[in-house]
Structure 1
Amino acid sequence: MSSTTVTTRTTTRPRSLAAVLLSRRGAVYPPAPAAAAIPAGGDVALLEADLVDRGYLLAPLLRAAFAALDAPTLGAVGRELLGDIDRALGADREHVPLLRDFPDTTPHDTYTHYVDRVLTVLFQRPEQPCVLCGTVESVVPVSPCAHLVCGACFDGADFSACPVCERRIDPSDPFLRPKRPRRQLFRRAAPPERLRLLSYGGDLAARQADAARELDTLLSRTGALSPQDTDDLEALLAARTRDDLDRLPTTVPGRETKARLVVWLLADPAATPTTLPVMARLIDTATDVLRVLAVRSGGDAGLVEIPRFAAVPRPLRRALLSVLDTLDPAQAAQDMRRHRRAWIHAAELLHPFEHTDRFPRAALAFAALRGTRLGDDALSAALRTAAETVDAIDVTGPAVTASSWSGQVEAALAARDIAGALTLLERRPGELVRRLDHLLRLIGEGDEDGASAVVSALERVVPRVAPAVLLSALGAIRTRIRERVARVFFPKGAAAKTHVIDDERPTLPAALVRTVVDVLTAEMLRRAGNAAPVEVAVVDAALDAVVAPFTERTASRALVTLPRGSELAVPDGRTLRLFLHWMESPTSGRTDLDLSAAMFDADWRQVGVCDYTSLRFASHAAVHSGDLQDAPPPLGASEFVDLDLERLGAAGVRYVVAVVYSYNNVPFGDLAEAFAGLMLRDQPGNRGPVFDPRSVEQRFDLTGSSRACVPLLIDVQARTMRWLDVVKGVTGTHHAVWRHADALATLAHRLTDLFASGSRVGLGELAVWQAAARAATVVVRHTDGSRSVYRRRDGEDVADFAARIGSPDTDAHAGEGDDGDGPSAGPRLAYLLRGDLELPDGSEVFALYPLSQDAARVRLLAAADMVTALDPRSSILGDR
Structure 2
Amino acid sequence: MDTLESLVIVRRLRVPIDAPADAAPAGWGEVAARQLDAALLSVGFTCSAALLERLARLPGETVVDLGVRVLAAVRGLVGDHVRHNAYFIDFPKNVPDTLEFWVGLLREAMLDPVAAARLQQPTLDLLTLPGYGRYQHTYADLLAAHAELIPLAGDGVTVLELGGSLESEARELYFSLAGSESPLAAEDLAALRSLASYCADQPERIPVRENRAVVNEVRLAAGRPLLVDTVTDVLRLACGCSGGDVTLAVPTRFRSFRRAERRALLQALDAVATPAKLGDVARHREQWKRLGERLHPHDYPRLTRAAHVFEVARGVREAAGFDGRVEAALSAGRTADAVQLLERAPGALLRRLDHLVRTGLSAPAVLDAAERAASGASGRVLLSLREHLQNRLARTAGRVFTNRYGRAWATPDTRAPLEDDVLARALDMLDSEIARRLSDPGELIVDPDVLDVALPLSGKAVAPGLGMLPRGSLSAVDGELLRLFVHWREAGRRTDYDLSALMLDAFYGNPTHISWTNYSNGFATYSGDLTAAPDGASEFIDIRLAEATQPIIIPQVNVYAGERFDEAAEAFFGYMTRDAVQEGRPFEPRTVRMKSDLRGSGRIVLPLVFLRGDDGAWRVKWLHLYLKGHPGFNQVEGNRVTASLLVRSIVERDYLRVRHLADLLRTKGSAAGGTTYIGLEAPADLPPGTRVYTPGTLHELIPA
Structure-2 residue corresponding to 1:363: 307
Structure-1 residue corresponding to 2:371: 459
Output the amino acid matched with 1:762.
R
State the shift of 1:468 in Å: 1.7
Output the amino acid matched with 1:844.
R
In structure 2, relative to structure 1, the CA distance for the partners of 1:600 and 1:428 (3 Å cut) is: same
Candidates 269, 276, 282, aligned match of 1:337: 282
- Structure 2 residue 663 is the aligned partner of structure 1 residue 768: yes
Does the Cα contact within 8 Å between 1:490 and 1:551 map onto a contact in 2? Answer: no
Structure-2 residue corresponding to 1:92: 81
Structure-2 residue corresponding to 1:201: 163
State the shift of 1:171 in Å: 5.4
Q: Distance in 2 between matches of 1:165 and 1:664?
A: 15
In structure 2, relative to structure 1, the CA distance for the partners of 1:303 and 1:352 (3 Å cut) is: same
In structure 2, relative to structure 1, the CA distance for the partners of 1:60 and 1:654 (3 Å cut) is: closer
Structure-2 residue corresponding to 1:321: 266
Output the amino acid matched with 1:668.
F
Within-5 A mapping of 1:697-776: 697-717=593-613, 718-754=617-653, 758=654, 760-775=655-670
Output the amino acid matched with 1:323.
A
State the shift of 1:496 in Å: 5.2
Deviations 1:355-412 (A, max 9, x none): 34x222223343344332xxxxxxxxxxxxxxxxxxxxxxxxxxx4223332221122
Structure-2 residue corresponding to 1:45: 34
- Structure 2 residue 172 is the aligned partner of structure 1 residue 213: yes
| 2:594 match: secondary structure | strand
Within-5 A mapping of 1:19-58: 19-30=6-17, 32=19, 38-58=27-47
Q: Distance in 1 between matches of 2:90 and 2:216?
A: 53
| 1:555 match: secondary structure | coil
Q: Distance in 1 between matches of 2:315 and 2:112?
A: 75
TM-score normalised per structure 2 = 0.92
State the shift of 1:192 in Å: 4.2
State the shift of 1:712 in Å: 1.0
Deviations 1:668-690 (A, max 9, x none): 122111111011112267x2122
Q: Distance in 1 between matches of 2:587 and 2:444?
A: 40
In structure 2, relative to structure 1, the CA distance for the partners of 1:251 and 1:862 (3 Å cut) is: closer
Q: Distance in 1 between matches of 2:343 and 2:647?
A: 37
Q: Distance in 2 between matches of 1:616 and 1:170?
A: 22
State the shift of 1:509 in Å: 0.6
Within-5 A mapping of 1:147-162: none
State the shift of 1:162 in Å: 9.5
Output the amino acid matched with 2:310.
F
Output the amino acid matched with 1:730.
G
Q: Distance in 1 between matches of 2:575 and 2:400?
A: 26
Within-5 A mapping of 1:76-91: 76-91=65-80
Does the Cα contact within 8 Å between 2:176 and 2:697 map onto a contact in 1? Answer: no
Output the amino acid matched with 1:196.
T
Q: Distance in 2 between matches of 1:258 and 1:327?
A: 15
Structure-2 residue corresponding to 1:624: 526
| 1:698 match: secondary structure | strand
Q: Distance in 1 between matches of 2:357 and 2:130?
A: 63
The worse-fitting range, judged by mean Cα deviation, of 519-528 and 323-332 is: 323-332
- Structure 2 residue 540 is the aligned partner of structure 1 residue 640: yes
Output the amino acid matched with 1:233.
L
Within-5 A mapping of 1:516-527: 516-527=426-437
- Structure 2 residue 665 is the aligned partner of structure 1 residue 830: no
Q: Distance in 2 between matches of 1:616 and 1:602?
A: 21
Structure-2 residue corresponding to 1:865: 700
Does the Cα contact within 8 Å between 1:488 and 1:501 map onto a contact in 2? Answer: yes
Q: Indicate the percent of aligned positions where both proteins have the same amino acid.
A: 32
The worse-fitting range, judged by mean Cα deviation, of 456-465 and 87-96 is: 456-465
Structure-1 residue corresponding to 2:123: none
Output the amino acid matched with 1:424.
L
Structure-2 residue corresponding to 1:469: 381
| 2:566 match: secondary structure | helix
Deviations 1:423-477 (A, max 9, x none): 1111222111111111011157xxxxx2232112111211221222211111112
Candidates 654, 658, 662, aligned match of 2:559: 662
Q: Distance in 1 between matches of 2:82 and 2:141?
A: 21
State the shift of 1:637 in Å: 0.9
Within-5 A mapping of 1:281-430: 282-356=227-301, 358-372=302-316, 400-430=317-347
Candidates 104, 112, 121, aligned match of 2:109: 121
| 1:101 match: secondary structure | coil
Higher helix share: 2
- Structure 2 residue 193 is the aligned partner of structure 1 residue 234: yes
Does the Cα contact within 8 Å between 1:168 and 1:632 map onto a contact in 2? Answer: no
Output the amino acid matched with 1:364.
H
State the shift of 1:770 in Å: 2.4
In structure 2, relative to structure 1, the CA distance for the partners of 1:35 and 1:566 (3 Å cut) is: closer
Give 1 or 2 for the bigger CA radius of gyration: 1
Does the Cα contact within 8 Å between 2:24 and 2:57 map onto a contact in 1? Answer: no
Does the Cα contact within 8 Å between 1:227 and 1:557 map onto a contact in 2? Answer: no
State the shift of 1:354 in Å: 4.1
Structure-2 residue corresponding to 1:570: 477
The worse-fitting range, judged by mean Cα deviation, of 547-556 and 254-263 is: 547-556
Does the Cα contact within 8 Å between 1:827 and 1:839 map onto a contact in 2? Answer: no
Deviations 1:488-535 (A, max 9, x none): 11234xx4532211111110110011111111111101111xx2452x
Q: Distance in 2 between matches of 1:485 and 1:58?
A: 47
Output the amino acid matched with 2:586.
V
Q: Distance in 2 between matches of 1:679 and 1:600?
A: 21
- Structure 2 residue 249 is the aligned partner of structure 1 residue 249: no
CA RMSD in angstroms comes to 2.7
| 1:552 match: secondary structure | coil
- Structure 2 residue 131 is the aligned partner of structure 1 residue 164: yes
Structure-2 residue corresponding to 1:110: 98
Q: Distance in 2 between matches of 1:93 and 1:706?
A: 25
Q: Distance in 2 between matches of 1:42 and 1:837?
A: 23
| 2:575 match: secondary structure | strand
Q: Distance in 2 between matches of 1:482 and 1:70?
A: 63
Q: Distance in 2 between matches of 1:591 and 1:533?
A: 51
- Structure 2 residue 519 is the aligned partner of structure 1 residue 609: no
| 2:652 match: secondary structure | helix
| 1:111 match: secondary structure | helix
Q: Distance in 1 between matches of 2:417 and 2:447?
A: 33
Candidates 687, 692, 695, aligned match of 1:845: 692
Output the amino acid matched with 2:254.
F
TM-score normalised per structure 1 = 0.74
State the shift of 1:259 in Å: 0.4
Deviations 1:305-333 (A, max 9, x none): 12121112222222222222222532332
Does the Cα contact within 8 Å between 1:488 and 1:498 map onto a contact in 2? Answer: yes
Does the Cα contact within 8 Å between 2:206 and 2:212 map onto a contact in 1? Answer: yes
Structure-2 residue corresponding to 1:222: 181
Candidates 450, 463, 470, aligned match of 1:543: 450
Output the amino acid matched with 1:580.
V
Output the amino acid matched with 2:86.
P
| 2:386 match: secondary structure | helix
In structure 2, relative to structure 1, the CA distance for the partners of 1:37 and 1:533 (3 Å cut) is: closer
Q: Distance in 2 between matches of 1:125 and 1:188?
A: 49
State the shift of 1:221 in Å: 1.2
Does the Cα contact within 8 Å between 1:710 and 1:724 map onto a contact in 2? Answer: yes
Structure-2 residue corresponding to 1:388: none
Q: Distance in 2 between matches of 1:75 and 1:541?
A: 38
Within-5 A mapping of 1:428-507: 428-443=345-360, 450-492=362-404, 495=405, 497-507=407-417
Does the Cα contact within 8 Å between 1:120 and 1:164 map onto a contact in 2? Answer: no
Structure-2 residue corresponding to 1:67: 56
Structure-2 residue corresponding to 1:18: 5
State the shift of 1:642 in Å: 0.8
Q: Distance in 2 between matches of 1:737 and 1:604?
A: 15
| 2:428 match: secondary structure | helix
